[in-house]
Chains A and B, each alone.
Chain A
Amino acid sequence: MSARLGFIMLVHTALDRAAQVARYLAEAGSPVVIHVDARTLPQAREALVSALKDLPDVRFCTRHRCDWGTWSLVAAMQSASELLLREFPGVERVYALSGACLPLRPVAELEAWLDRHPDTDFIESVNVGDVNWTKGGLSEERFTLHFPVGFKRNKWLFDRLVDAQRLLHVKRSIPDGVVPHIGSQWWCLTRETLERILQDPRRAQFDRYFRRVWIPDESYFQTLVRLHARKIESRSPTLGKFDHQGKPHVFYDDHLQLLRRSDCFMARKIWRGSDRLYAHFLAPRDGAPSAAEPQPSRIDRHFARATEQRIRGRAGLYMASRFPGLNRENGKTAEPYSVFQGFTEVFRDFEGWLGAVASCRVHGHLFARKKAEFAGREKFFAGGLSDSASLRDYNPRAFLTNLLWATRGERQCFQFGPADTQGKAYELLWFMSADSNAQISVITGAWAVPLYRSGRDVAQIRAEAARLQRIESDMIDILHSPHVRARIRIWTMAEFLENPAEALHALFDEIAPQSQSRLLQTPELVDLSGFGSFLQELRNQGMQPVLMGEFPTTPEAPDPSHRMK
């Protein structure tokens, strides 16, 4: 077979896997030149050599000690390429891969695909001024500072040398005509381009320059190819994704379908223990060769989602490996919810009405003193939350975030008020008011209605009324603070009662935008005749009820049970 495609392969660990891949490529008729890191143990290297000794087209090139991010990797690639080009004159294209690469499709399909792109060099090559994906803060400085020490060898010294050079305004001059480009070191070049790079009369000058560039393996060929190539397709032919820190994502057995459907030719990095991947992709294949174009986008999305979860996390989730500090939550709670203050007080059966007209879960006072009033007054609720007040009050904020996390997909509504547990220094209301998922609607002063309807003696009620009013005033202050991100509506009770239907409709348009709120029957109000006199009575007892607004004093309540004593 006249092999037109040859491979150079850089390996340092997992040599058994490298041997498998080399054998697969060589048996398909392609020559393979392997560079084994000089630091690899001699026994391991000998095992690799003997494992492949039956394959005449597998060669081993001069070994270099490879340190990540240093010139040694370029030297290794140069040695391997030179050997390949010299020993196999029929090779028209050279593909660079690592020991952790895995061919996903037969070599013949790759060759056919390359034939459809004549004279094209596949190499990711991006002008360093235009990239935004270099990690670690170094992009152009990779080319203008000196890097005598490898980062992995001595991080501290590496950083100090960078600092010192910045301080001294050191600036290396870039060789004439060279425009720094960077990109993946896994490329596929044509013989012509590669030979021109390796035989360039200025090569000694370039090599001297790149020896002190940072991560030259990502810039040497990527830059020089711009001087020599006829046609550059700026993308790596090898499928490989990088995370937010610039580290490659690794493929495991569970990625098999994803890899198969990607139709890419080569993938890296493969975890060395992925038996299924190696068995599947290195097995001989029957059937007609496929001419499918590589489609890496599904894999892109898969890893983009993972990176998103690592960086931003899931909104409203607090757990063992995600506990964001204040204002780092990327969403304090999981989903929108509604908080009603004063509604159960002025309507007869607000909870029942709301549950019937809106498709949401309607709780009572979740933070009532005695117990959490879950919808249906259940003893336990979603996720295993208990109605016990002491459990809830141990960490009321966690109670709320747990509830909202556990009920994702169903809007939660609950009642709140000055008589409820507020948490330490109103932590609950501070939290909710700063949460853009919260819709908080308050009818101020409505806490007085249950007192009025209790029929108890006003003298006894006075202290309780004063307490509730004080708490509600504090609450209103919080809701007016500049940190508020919730949707907040506040009416005085008098204001609200002037036109309850309009207020409810406005709320409803937010809770259930698809429903025809204008057609809704508003719930029935409680009987408030005599409320004005009740307020006057409170005033007479020395308290000043202000939050409910102006109520005319009516001389006599019609219902004797509500009469003042």
Chain B
Amino acid sequence: MSRAGDLWQDYLWRRRRQLRLARALRKRRELASVVDRTDLIRPGDVLAFTTLRNEAARLPFFLAHYRALGVRHFLVVDNDSDDGSREILGEAPDVSLWHTRASYRASRFGVDWMQGLLMRYGRGHWCVSVDADELLVYPHHDTRPLPALCDFLDGEGEASFGALMLDLYPQGPLDAVRYTPGQDPTAVLPFYDRANYTISRKRDLDALWIQGGPRSRTFFADRPERGPTLTKVPLVKWHWRYAYVNSTHTLLPRALNRIYDDQGGEKLSGVLLHTKFLPGIGAKSAEEKTRRQHFGEPGAFDAYYDALIAAPDLWTPHSTQYRGWRQLEAEGLMSRGGWG
């Protein structure tokens, strides 16, 4: 592209980012503070941001997992839960909680709300932005907590850290799973696809677009282009100017999407263990379908929701059992990069 064209593109992206930020500021008014413990946040703390609705079953392990990784404070937007999530969060000593009844979809699936909180509280901190069904693992996470990872990334001059979202599933129909809150989800969803992912490069955002996995092969075999996006940038050293574009898949400014090396080397990266298929996925899908709050085109995913409600079996004889980060690293689903 010509230089003028580049400048024009830069301007458009800049404009888009500014609109996102303005929108997030506006949407912040939809949030009512329930518990504000943000005065506990200290410089250098790693923070976690999440938006959720009815995740009481997942929350105990979610909080324990990220605490063990060294997250010092959770900033949570509760989208009108009625299953006790709010109580769990309100009682936790390291959670600040906001509540809203506004539309999840109109807030771009909670991103606008999260964006508003990131702008205000995330500045200068390394921030983990994840859903309640996403558990971050990365090379050496059992011996090197997030502050160690963030120190390393700072040293490398990186401001963002990428991860593959890895769908975990059980053997047998999805509705046969039994889960006790607090239990490690990988005990009941022990399987994943280890080499079933396609990547294309989105030149406009300078990002990778990864698709595939069990949902693609089961629900989107006839229209793979609709398959779920599995690229994630869950950990960012936040600056108030930054903005998530599509969920937590991509960010602006575009340089933050450079979580990959295109010269043959491997950058350090992690995996988000996706526990979507814990019990309740059928009921959640039914609710999502009626609420029609997913993506740009309501209706386009009805078949997908119907298939999920029908509790299919995602397991194949070639599914791999989860055995920790070393295995994921050896299989190339994540990389230790130069972090020896």
Interface residues of A (CB under 8 A from B): 243-244, 247, 249-250, 252-254, 271, 273, 302-303, 305-307, 309-314, 317-325, 328-330, 378-386, 388, 390-391, 394-395, 398-399, 402-403, 405-406
**Which of B155, B163, B221, B317 is within 8 Å of A390, CB to CB?**
B221
A444 to B314, CA, bound (A): 41
Tell me whether A385 and B196 are in contact (CB under 8 A). yes
A314, B266: Cβ atoms closer than 8 Å: yes
Q: Contact at A391–B332, with CB atoms within 8 Å? A: no
CA distance A328 to B199 in the complex (A): 16
Q: Is the CB of A323 within 8 A of B140?
A: no
| A226 → B minimal CB distance (Å) | 32
Distance, CA A406 to CA B318, complexed state (A) = 10
Would you call B213 an interface residue if the criterion is a C-beta within 8 Å of the partner chain's C-beta atoms? yes
Q: B162: CB under 8 A from chain A?
A: yes
Closest A-B pairs by Cβ, 3 of them = A383-B195, A306-B340, A384-B193
Interface residues of B in 182-238 (CB under 8 A from A): 192-201, 208, 210, 213-214, 216-217, 221-225, 231
Asked if B148 is an interface residue, CB under 8 A from chain A, the answer is yes
Could you mark each residue 301-340 of chain B with 1 if its beta carbon is under 8 Å from any beta carbon of chain A, else 0? Answer: 0000000000000001111100000000000111111111
The closest CB in chain B to the CB of A397 belongs to B198
Asked if A320 contacts B163 (CB within 8 A), the reply is yes
Most A CB within 10 A of own CB, among B224, B264, B268, B317:
B264
A312–B264 contact, CB under 8 A?
yes
What are 17 A-B contacts with C-beta separation under 8 Å? A243-B338, A252-B143, A319-B199, A320-B199, A320-B210, A321-B267, A321-B268, A322-B266, A323-B199, A323-B260, A383-B320, A384-B192, A385-B196, A386-B196, A388-B217, A390-B224, A394-B198
- In the bound complex, residues from chain B placing their C-beta under 8 Å from that of A254 are 140, 143-144
Is the beta-carbon distance between A384 and B196 smaller than 8 angstroms?
A: yes
Q: Are B264 and A330 in contact (CB under 8 A)?
A: yes
Contacts of B222 in A (CB 8 A): 390
B259 CB-CB contact with A under 8 Å:
yes
Interface of A is mostly: mixed
Which of B140, B156, B224, B266 has most chain A Cβ within 10 Å? B266
Is the pair B334, A321 in contact by a Cβ cutoff of 8 Å? yes
Q: Which residues of A contact B225 (CB under 8 A)?
A: 394
B264, A253: Cβ atoms under 8 Å? no
Q: Which of B193, B262, B340 contacts A307 (CB 8 A)?
A: B340
Residues on A with C-beta less than 8 A from B196 are 383-386, 402
**Cα-based distance from A320 to B318 in the complex (angstroms):** 22
CB neighbours of B140 from chain A (8 A): 252, 254
Q: Which residue of B lies closest to A303 (CB)?
A: B340
- A391–B221 touching, CB < 8 Å: yes
Q: For A305, what are the chain B residues with a Cβ–Cβ distance below 8 Å?
A: 340
Chain B residue numbers with a CB within 8 Å of A317 are 266, 332
A312 to B335, CA, bound (A): 12
- A313 with B195, Cβ < 8 A, contacts A319-B332, A321-B260 known: no
Chain A hits for B115, CB < 8 A: none
Across the interface, name the chain B residue whose C-beta is closest to A241. Answer: B340
Q: What is the interface size of chain B, counting residues whose CB is below 8 A from a CB of the partner?
A: 60
> Contacts of B91 on A, CB cut-off 8 Å?
none
Of the candidates A320, A328, A382, A388, the one whose C-beta lies within 8 Å of that of B195 is A382
- Contact partners of B338 in chain A: CB under 8 A: 243-244, 306-307, 309-311
Q: Tell me the interface secondary structure of chain B in the complex.
A: loop
**A328 and B318 within 8 A (CB):** no
Q: A320-B334, A323-B261, A324-B262 are in contact. List 17 more A-B contacts (CB 8 A).
A: A243-B338, A306-B337, A320-B199, A320-B231, A321-B162, A321-B266, A322-B264, A322-B332, A324-B263, A380-B217, A380-B316, A383-B195, A384-B213, A385-B196, A386-B196, A386-B221, A402-B196
Whether the Cβ atoms of B194 and A384 lie closer than 8 Å is: yes
Q: Which residues of A contact B340 (CB under 8 A)?
A: 249, 302-303, 305-307
- Residue from B194, B334, B338 with most neighbouring chain A CB atoms (10 Å): B338
| Interface residue? B295 (CB, 8 A) | no
User: Roughly how many angstroms separate A273 CA and B143 CA in the complex, as a whole number?
Assistant: 10
Contacts A383-B318, A385-B195; is A322 near B267 (CB within 8 Å)?
yes
- Chain B residues near A320: list those with CB within 8 A: 162-164, 199, 208, 210, 231, 259-260, 269, 333-334
Structural contact, A398 and B197, CB atoms closer than 8 A = yes
In the complex, which residue of chain A has the Cβ closest to the Cβ of B155? A247
Contact B335 A309 (CB under 8 A): yes
CA distance A382 to B337 in the complex (A): 25
Partner of A328, one of B223, B262, B332: B262
User: How far apart are B193's CB and chain A's nearest CB, in angstroms?
Assistant: 3
CB-CB under 8 A from A314, the residues of chain B are 266, 332
Residues of B within 8 A of A306 (CB): 336-340
Contact yes or no, A406 B265, CB < 8 A:
no
Assuming the A-B contacts A254-B140, A382-B318, are A323 and B201 also in contact, with contact meaning beta carbons closer than 8 angstroms in the complex? yes
Closest chain A residue to B200 by CB distance?
Answer: A395
Give the one of A306, A322, A384, A395 with max B CB within 10 A: A384
B194 contacts A323, C-beta separation under 8 Å: no
Once bound together, how far apart are the Cα atoms of A127 and B10, in whole Å? 47
A321–B261 touching, CB < 8 Å:
yes
A310-B266, A320-B210 given as contacts; is B224 within 8 A of A391 (CB)?
A: yes
B147 within 8 A of A: yes
Residue of B with least CB distance to A392: B224
Minimal beta-carbon separation of A367 from chain B (angstroms) = 15
Give the nearest-CB partner of B213 in chain A. Answer: A384
B151, CB-defined interface residue at 8 Å: yes
Which residues of chain B are within 8 angstroms of A385 by Cβ–Cβ distance?
A: 195-196, 318
Complex Cα–Cα for A328 and B319 (A) = 31
Given A303-B340, A314-B332, A405-B332, answer yes or no on A253-B195 (Cβ-Cβ < 8 Å). no
Give, as a whole number of angstroms, the nearest-CB distance from A389 to chain B. 9
State whether the Cβ of B11 lies closer than 8 Å to any Cβ in chain A.
Answer: no
Question: For the complex, what is the distance from the CA of A405 to the CA of B196, rounded to whole Å?
Answer: 10
| B144–A271 touching, CB < 8 Å | yes
Query: A310 contacts B337, CB within 8 Å?
Result: yes
Residues of A within 8 A of B143 (CB): 252-254
CA distance A311 to B223 in the complex (A): 36
Task: Out of A244, A313, A390, name the residue touching B261 (CB < 8 Å).
Answer: A313
CA distance A328 to B264 in the complex (A): 5
Whether B145 sits at the interface, judged by CB under 8 Å, is yes
